[in-house]
């Protein structure tokens, strides 16, 4: 932000962000089966930790015809068709064979894209109306709070969620922070109306661990005359935390192997860090300056983990080659910079220069208003690059808000492109999605029509909004 328990008894298994499924298996979400009743010798670490209860909403097959299909997989198909059935994309092409019971949607003059994925959102943890009562994203009680999970702050009734859905967003990563060195775990969520956060959790998604460089942590604690108050203090804080995590992982790995004696004492903070060291939790690192990103890459090498993505990364263009070599994504804004000292050296060609260097680029919002217009943000970044003479294709730019963020979350085998077998997260746009005049007409999440601009029955609202119907023509 600007101003499960890990499966410790199976150390090599993926972190159980939503019940333990590996992302490759997440294309077929299943109803979560309750754990057996705990026996007298059972301990909490053996039980499911806040598993996903997400269930796909039933929907008749849907075929969209005569639309421009932007697959984010290398193809843009004019006057094409796409068939959705049982939550999956079944066929994409110039023509498709649809079953007799399919709902037929005329896409003449319209465009179809994958659902937008925002990997840096604070929806639900900084919910509207923005009072202190809804400010639950920063646990500012110590510089390392890896034990906290964003989902335990997330409010599914946040009225900002339906607005994001109406902007074509189908998946978000809700993050804590960024006031601490290590802020806690993220929650990867499908944007569907739900009563609980567990009913929104993306099956099989890895947890992320939010970390933060630079001004935020040193300002928060320096003003209290506490550690850290400098950038060198920040780095010492990360290193100290991971030194403890290495020892914690070693003890648990040994006990998991031989089960001799009592299990080690459980520590929620070190559990999260140990899962980072095992590669099961993905580091999502808030970091602005190029020199600090380079130092964080060194830190990761010291402790043997990977940084999945640098978020905000306004100076990423300065080390685009280093990011490409490290396989670390840059999660950036189109043109948002200059609001504090470490954000001063931003340029509008950041994303395009990263693309030119073959680094992985993702655009993000970090803002409840910006998340509603990510299609416009990616258009700005694309055109800024092209005006500077940097070749950026429409397909590459679309991937910045679809396929690439899916990779950041470890879900690229499941979502992010319009290909047969992928989850049917699909947006029908009124026109070219790179136009400022275009709006999402229909949004399908896992094949379910979650939003229809022309049908009030498919315009979800939070309980918070009851009795607050907008005048006709003013909705979103």
Architecture of domain 116-416: Alpha-Beta Barrel (3.20)
Give, for all 476 residues of the chain, the pLDDT tens digit: 544 333 333 333 334 444 433 333 333 333 343 444 444 456 788 889 999 999 999 999 999 999 999 999 999 999 999 999 999 999 999 999 999 999 999 999 999 999 999 999 999 999 999 999 999 999 999 999 999 999 999 999 999 999 999 999 999 999 999 999 999 999 999 999 999 999 999 999 999 999 999 999 999 999 999 999 999 999 999 999 999 999 999 999 999 999 999 999 999 999 999 999 999 999 999 999 999 999 999 999 999 999 999 999 999 999 999 999 999 999 999 999 999 999 999 999 999 999 999 999 999 999 999 999 999 999 999 999 999 999 999 999 999 999 999 999 999 999 999 999 999 999 999 999 999 999 999 999 999 999 999 999 999 988 888 787 766 655 55
Backbone angles phi, psi at 355, to 5 degrees: -60, -40
CA within 13 Å, CB half, 216: 25
Using CA atoms in the order 399, 289, 301, 280, what is the torsion angle rounded to 10 degrees?
-50
Q: Quick one: pLDDT at residue 42?
A: 65
Q: Quick one: pLDDT at residue 26?
A: 37
Q: Quick one: pLDDT at residue 388?
A: 97
Q: Quick one: pLDDT at residue 44?
A: 84
Q: Comparing C-alpha atoms, which of 60, 61, 69, 67 is closest to residue 106?
A: 67
User: Which residues are paired to 443 by β-bridges?
Assistant: 427, 451
Structural contact between residues 113 and 434, judged by C-beta atoms closer than 8 angstroms: no
In which residue are the tokens 């962000």 written?
17
In the chain, what are the domain boundaries? 116-416
CA within 13 Å, CB half, 239: 14
In which residue are the tokens 């943000």 written?
377
Quote the CA–CA distance of 145 and 221 in Å, as a whole number: 13
b vs e for 169-197, b when ≥16 Cβ sit within 10 Å of the residue's Cβ? bbbbbbbbbbbbbbbbbbbbbbbbbbeeb
Q: Are strands 187-190 and 169-174 parallel, antiparallel or unpaired?
A: antiparallel
Backbone angles phi, psi at 162, to 5 degrees: -60, -30
Quote the CA–CA distance of 381 and 348 in Å, as a whole number: 7
The 3-state DSSP class for residue 241 equals helix
In sequence order, what are the residues at sequence separation of 6 or more whose Cβ sits closer than 8 angstroms to the Cβ of residue 365? 118, 120, 121, 371, 374, 377
b vs e for 59-74, b when ≥16 Cβ sit within 10 Å of the residue's Cβ? bebbbbbebbbbbbbe
Kindly report the length of the chain.
Answer: 476
Q: How many Cβ atoms from other residues are within 10 Å of residue 25's Cβ?
A: 15
**Element spanning 432, H or E:** none
Quote the CA–CA distance of 187 and 208 in Å, as a whole number: 7
**Element spanning 345, H or E:** none
> In this structure, what DSSP letter does residue 423 have?
B
């Amino acid at each position: 932000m600007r101003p499960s328990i890990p499966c410790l008894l199976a150390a090599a298994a993926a972190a159980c962000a939503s019940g333990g499924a590996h992302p490759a298996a997440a294309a077929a979400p299943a109803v979560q089966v309750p754990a057996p009743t705990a026996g007298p010798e059972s301990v909490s670490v053996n039980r499911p930790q806040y598993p996903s209860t997400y269930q796909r909403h039933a929907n008749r097959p849907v075929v969209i015809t005569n639309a421009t299909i932007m697959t984010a997989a290398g193809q843009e198909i004019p006057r094409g068709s796409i068939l959705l059935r049982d939550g999956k994309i079944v066929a994409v092409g110039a023509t498709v064979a649809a079953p007799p019971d399919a709902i037929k949607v005329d896409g003449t003059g319209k465009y179809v894209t994958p659902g937008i994925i925002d990997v840096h959102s604070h929806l639900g943890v900084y919910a509207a109306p923005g009072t202190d009562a809804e400010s639950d994203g920063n646990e500012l009680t110590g510089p390392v709070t890896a034990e906290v999970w964003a989902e335990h702050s997330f409010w599914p009734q946040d009225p900002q969620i339906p607005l994001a859905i109406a902007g074509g967003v189908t998946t978000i990563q809700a993050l804590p922070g960024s006031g601490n060195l290590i802020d806690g775990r993220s929650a990867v969520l499908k944007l569907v109306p739900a009563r609980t956060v567990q009913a929104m959790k993306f099956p099989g998604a890895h947890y992320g661990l939010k970390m933060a460089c630079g001004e935020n942590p040193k300002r928060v604690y320096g003003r209290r005359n506490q550690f850290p108050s400098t950038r060198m203090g920040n780095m010492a804080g990360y290193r100290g935390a991971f030194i403890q995590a290495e020892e914690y992982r070693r003890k648990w790995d040994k006990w998991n192997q031989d089960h001799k004696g009592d299990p080690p004492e459980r520590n929620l903070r070190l559990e999260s860090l140990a899962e980072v060291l095992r590669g099961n939790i993905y580091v999502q690192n808030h970091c602005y300056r190029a020199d600090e990103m380079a130092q964080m890459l060194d830190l990761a090498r010291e402790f043997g983990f990977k940084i999945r993505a640098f978020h905000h990364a306004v100076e990423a263009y300065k080390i685009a080659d280093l990011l490409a070599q490290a396989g670390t994504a840059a999660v950036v804004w189109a043109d948002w910079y200059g609001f504090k000292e470490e954000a001063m050296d931003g340029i509008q060609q950041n994303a395009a220069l990263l693309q030119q260097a073959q680094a992985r680029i993702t655009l993000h919002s970090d803002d409840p208003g910006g998340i509603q217009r990510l299609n416009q943000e990616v258009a700005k970044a694309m055109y800024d690059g092209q005006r500077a003479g940097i070749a950026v294709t429409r397909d590459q730019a679309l991937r910045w808000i679809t396929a690439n963020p899916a990779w950041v979350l470890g879900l690229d085998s499941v979502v992010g492109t319009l290909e047969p077998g992928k989850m049917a997260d699909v947006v029908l746009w009124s026109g070219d999605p790179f136009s400022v005049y275009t709006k999402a007409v229909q949004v399908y999440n896992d094949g379910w029509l979650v939003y229809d601009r022309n049908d009030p029955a498919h315009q979800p609202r939070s309980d918070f909004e009851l009795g607050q119907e907008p005048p006709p023509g003013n909705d979103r």
